A and B are shown apart, each in its own frame.
Chain A
Amino acid sequence: MERKDILLVEDDDMMAALLGHWLEKEGYAVTTLKNGLQVKEALCESLPDLIISDIMMPYYSGIELVDHIRNELKLELPVILISAASNDENVMNAFELGANDFISKPISPHELLVRVARTLKTMKA
């Protein structure tokens, strides 16, 4: 079975390590980046199967990243956003700009893996 590449964008190392650990344990190939600017550069080189990004990041927020992917790069790349502030405005913004899913903190590993699997399955179909 082909391993899916997941691009994880998280500025908190501890959280990135935890999320990466959960995803790798499930069999995904995880690349961790710290902010949106790095993602922009990385997307020029290769495209992952899925992007998991925190919303609150320095220089470039997760919502701006989705906007860049959908409106500038015109990519249908699936994106899951993570945020501690799960207010309606953030969620609505994320979905309006084209995010595929939204996970609010605190994150349960089980919930994360289920959502990742479902999003990948949906995009494949």
Chain B
Amino acid sequence: MLWDLTLLFSVLGALYFLGIFYFRNKISFRSKRLVDKKKELAPVISNFLFHDPSAPIVEKKEYVELKINIRNELGNPAFRKILTEILVDLQKDVAGETRERLNELYYDLNLHLDAYKKLNSWRWEVVSQGILELTQMKVVDAYSFITKFINDKRSTIRKQAEIATVSLRAEGIAHFLDTTRYSISEWQQLKLIETLRTIEHFRPPNFKAWLISSNRDVVLFSLRLIKHYNQNDAITAIIELLKHKDDRIKTEAINCIKEFCVIKAIPILKAIYWKTSEIIKIEILDAIATLGSEDDIEFLQKVAKKESGFILKNKVAMAINDIAPDTVLPTKDIIPQNKLSFEAEEQSVFGDESALKEEVKQIADSETNTVEPELTEEEVGEIEVYEVDTETIFTANEKETRSVDENVAEDTTESTFEIGPVPEELDESINAEIGLLTDLAQEEEIESLQNKGFEKAYSEMEVEEKDKFVDAMHDTASQSDIPLLEEIMEDEPNSELRFRIFKIIKSLGRNTEKPTIETAPDKEIIENHTQFEGTPKESIFHDLLDYASDLESKIILLEQMAELGDEKELPLLFMLLDDEDAIIQKKAEKTKSIILLRLNGEGSEKSIPIESNGDMLKEDEKPMQTVAPENEIVPLEHQKELLPLELCFLYDELDISPPEEDHLRIDFDFTEEFYQAQQRRAAIKE
């Protein structure tokens, strides 16, 4: 048994090797024969290809003999097969006229009949080979035979037939699109387009005719052909295809819309957006990014809100940025703007002003753009001017730069810029941006905020501390402290302190902020007063001040001077304004103001002819403003509304209300002793 099996497998092995040997030799023999035949046929085919009808008779005779020999050989199927192979291979390597001659030779030798026979074979590869051969050798007569295979069940034959149909005749593409019932693969579509491209003088049909085909692949392929051949007369049909169920067709329709820039399709794209798949949504967003305008940003923002996926959100952001560049900016891991601004401020403090200048320029630009979005050429020129002027805000050094800029502007003949003032709105915005305060209201607001802080601190003080504070204010306060003092006075429960604060306010000459003819301490008025006076020595305080050794004594004397002094003290006070000690200077200034106020009050009663600007009038000139006589003091409008503070205190202390009309019109002046007496009375009561 074992030997039998050994023998069996040995025989099978021998047969296997024999089989290999046989087929190998057969293939080798065939290829060798083919090579030999090629060698043999090469000059023959060359003669056929390059035969010149006008050649000498000897050559013509050789040509005829060759033809006779070939005809004789053509009866042999093997020879025909080899000859066909040679011609088909050679056809691949040559071009132009030689290729055409090869095709003619193939047809003349009736080799195409063998290809026809192949079409009837039951083997798919033979049929496919026959179609390929006829296609390569451009046998146009085979067109009608090949078109039958367009709807063949065997895909290889069908695909070969499709290419042959399209390749052999110009109308082949139309026939194919009309008749095909099978799907057309992506690769096949590419090959068909490539085949169409190689057809000389090809005039493509209007492919929109196949957009109504029942075969989705035909519609899809037609859309691609429409895009390839730029047939933009099919826009209406393409827009309609946006509503197609097939995503591939929708995608291709959107591509066509993008290609042909069909802006009127945007509303449809927006409408179908919410009912489509993510892939189509991406395509739609791409299309809107390409074709959209600022009107579509609202839709995109809506999409960004509703969509949760990153890809779509990202696409929306890209679309918005495409339509309106730099609208959507990175937000993740970005350092906050205020921090950057702080750093920029720091840099400017340490000398790097260029960045801040640039920022202000940009603000100026943006401000201008905001105010006037559409500008004429002249207005643009004005903006440039504003840019120059904004630079002057910075430092004096910039003036040099500006002057250089102006020179440059003057030198430029084409420039139409004019140097002008910064508009008020622009100026305010720039000032606000760089921290400059120009508005009086803003200053007062900030001052009141600071005062509130002081008020709070003051209200928490003990009575002794308040006393010291008021003393200090008495010595050092200036007119800018008046609002603070007034607020403290209103809230102060202690009447003594309140009175002292009132005195300080009075000494600082609060009323000078609301100047009237009667009270305004103009410099000119002061000068007028000084013109009447004599020397500082005429003041009784002159010797006392000389005698006073310490600062405190001098201050007390000046306070006394403020209370008792008259115009004789003014020369002395003017002299003290130049004193070495700053405190004395300040005190003298205050004292002088108080005396002048008092003198002004008296002066008004004396009907001193004073013009609104404070200049003295000549005797023969009529005064511009009528001054009320002594017994007819008529308070000004605001004075009617505001009672004197002393009187207010009195009303408060006595808990009475002022009369509706002051018939007596007597100017009461309460002394400090009066208030002290009032306080003592109140203490006794308690």
A114 within 8 A of B: no
Residues of B within 8 A of A21 (CB): 46, 49-50
Interface segment, one of A38-46, A59-67, A68-76, A105-113: A105-113
Q: Is the CB of A18 within 8 A of B94?
A: yes
Interface residues of A in 88-121 (CB under 8 A from B): 105-111
Q: Is the CB of A13 within 8 A of B97?
A: no
B575 within 8 A of A: no
A106, B46: Cα distance in complex, Å: 17
- 0/1 interface trace, chain B 572-599, chain A, CB 8 Å (1 if under): 0000000000000000000000000000
Residues of A within 8 A of B (CB): 12-18, 21, 25, 84, 105-111
Choose among B86, B98, B99 the residue with the greatest number of A CB atoms under 10 Å from its CB: B98
Residues of A within 8 A of B89 (CB): 12, 14
* A–B pairs, 24, beta carbons within 8 Å: A12-B93, A13-B35, A13-B38, A14-B38, A14-B42, A14-B45, A14-B90, A15-B93, A16-B42, A18-B42, A18-B49, A18-B90, A18-B93, A18-B94, A21-B46, A84-B92, A105-B93, A105-B94, A106-B91, A106-B99, A107-B95, A109-B94, A110-B96, A111-B95
A107, B46: Cα distance in complex, Å: 15
Residues of B within 8 A of A13 (CB): 35, 38-39, 42
Q: Is the CB of B43 within 8 A of A108?
A: no
Q: Is the CB of B94 within 8 A of A106?
A: yes
| Given A17-B45, A109-B94; 6 other pairs, CB 8 A cutoff | A14-B41, A14-B42, A14-B45, A14-B89, A18-B46, A107-B94
A18, B49: Cα distance in complex, Å: 9
* Complex: chain A residue closest to B50, CB-CB: A21
Nearest 8 A-B pairs (CB), nearest first? A17-B42, A106-B95, A108-B96, A108-B95, A105-B93, A21-B46, A13-B38, A13-B39
A25, B97: Cα distance in complex, Å: 15
Interface of A is mostly: helix
Q: Is the CB of A108 within 8 A of B98?
A: yes
- 0/1 interface trace, chain B 36-64, chain A, CB 8 Å (1 if under): 00110111011001100000000000000
Residues of B within 8 A of A15 (CB): 90, 93
* Complex: chain A residue closest to B89, CB-CB: A14
Residues of A within 8 A of B35 (CB): 13
Residues of B within 8 A of A14 (CB): 38, 41-42, 45, 86, 89-90
A106, B93: Cα distance in complex, Å: 4
Interface of B is mostly: helix
A109, B50: Cα distance in complex, Å: 11
Task: Report B656 CB to chain A, min CB distance, Å.
Answer: 110
* Complex: chain A residue closest to B92, CB-CB: A106
Residues of A within 8 A of B95 (CB): 106-108, 111
Task: Report A103 CB to chain B, min CB distance, Å.
Answer: 11
A16, B41: Cα distance in complex, Å: 12
- 0/1 interface trace, chain B 83-120, chain A, CB 8 Å (1 if under): 00010011111111111000000000000000000000
Residues of B within 8 A of A (CB): 35, 38-39, 41-43, 45-46, 49-50, 86, 89-99
A108, B94: Cα distance in complex, Å: 6
A14, B97: Cα distance in complex, Å: 17
Task: Report B104 CB to chain A, min CB distance, Å.
Answer: 15
Q: Is the CB of A17 within 8 A of B43?
A: yes
Residues of A within 8 A of B98 (CB): 18, 108-109
A15, B91: Cα distance in complex, Å: 10
State which of B43, B45, B86, B96 has its C-beta within 8 Å of the C-beta of A109.
B96
Q: Known contacts A14-B45, A21-B50; is A105 also within 8 Å of B39 by CB?
A: no
Residues of B within 8 A of A84 (CB): 92-93
A16, B91: Cα distance in complex, Å: 14
Task: Report A71 CB to chain B, min CB distance, Å.
Answer: 30
A62, B117: Cα distance in complex, Å: 41
A111, B49: Cα distance in complex, Å: 18
A97, B501: Cα distance in complex, Å: 104
Residues of A within 8 A of B42 (CB): 13-14, 16-18
Task: Report A111 CB to chain B, min CB distance, Å.
Answer: 8
A109, B90: Cα distance in complex, Å: 13
A80, B45: Cα distance in complex, Å: 25
* Complex: chain B residue closest to A21, CB-CB: B46
Task: Report B89 CB to chain A, min CB distance, Å.
Answer: 7
Residues of B within 8 A of A18 (CB): 42, 46, 49, 90, 93-94, 98
Task: Report A13 CB to chain B, min CB distance, Å.
Answer: 5
Choose among A18, A105, A109, A111 the residue with the greatest number of B CB atoms under 10 Å from its CB: A18
Q: Known contacts A14-B38, A17-B43, A25-B50; is A109 also within 8 Å of B93 by CB?
A: no
Choose among B46, B94, B96 the residue with the greatest number of A CB atoms under 10 Å from its CB: B94
Task: Report A63 CB to chain B, min CB distance, Å.
Answer: 19
A14, B41: Cα distance in complex, Å: 8
Residues of B within 8 A of A106 (CB): 91-95, 99
Task: Report B557 CB to chain A, min CB distance, Å.
Answer: 106
Task: Report B512 CB to chain A, min CB distance, Å.
Answer: 92
* Complex: chain B residue closest to A54, CB-CB: B93
Residues of A within 8 A of B86 (CB): 14
Residues of A within 8 A of B97 (CB): 108-110
Task: Report A122 CB to chain B, min CB distance, Å.
Answer: 24
A107, B91: Cα distance in complex, Å: 10
Residues of B within 8 A of A16 (CB): 42
A15, B35: Cα distance in complex, Å: 12
* Complex: chain A residue closest to B44, CB-CB: A17
Task: Report B599 CB to chain A, min CB distance, Å.
Answer: 105
Task: Report B87 CB to chain A, min CB distance, Å.
Answer: 9
A110, B50: Cα distance in complex, Å: 14
Task: Report A23 CB to chain B, min CB distance, Å.
Answer: 12
A17, B42: Cα distance in complex, Å: 6
Q: Known contacts A13-B35, A13-B38, A14-B38; is A105 also within 8 Å of B92 by CB?
A: yes
Residues of B within 8 A of A111 (CB): 95
A84, B94: Cα distance in complex, Å: 10
A21, B96: Cα distance in complex, Å: 16
A86, B616: Cα distance in complex, Å: 108
Residues of B within 8 A of A108 (CB): 94-98
Residues of A within 8 A of B38 (CB): 12-14
Task: Report B20 CB to chain A, min CB distance, Å.
Answer: 23
Residues of A within 8 A of B49 (CB): 18, 21
Choose among A14, A84, A106 the residue with the greatest number of B CB atoms under 10 Å from its CB: A14
A105, B98: Cα distance in complex, Å: 13
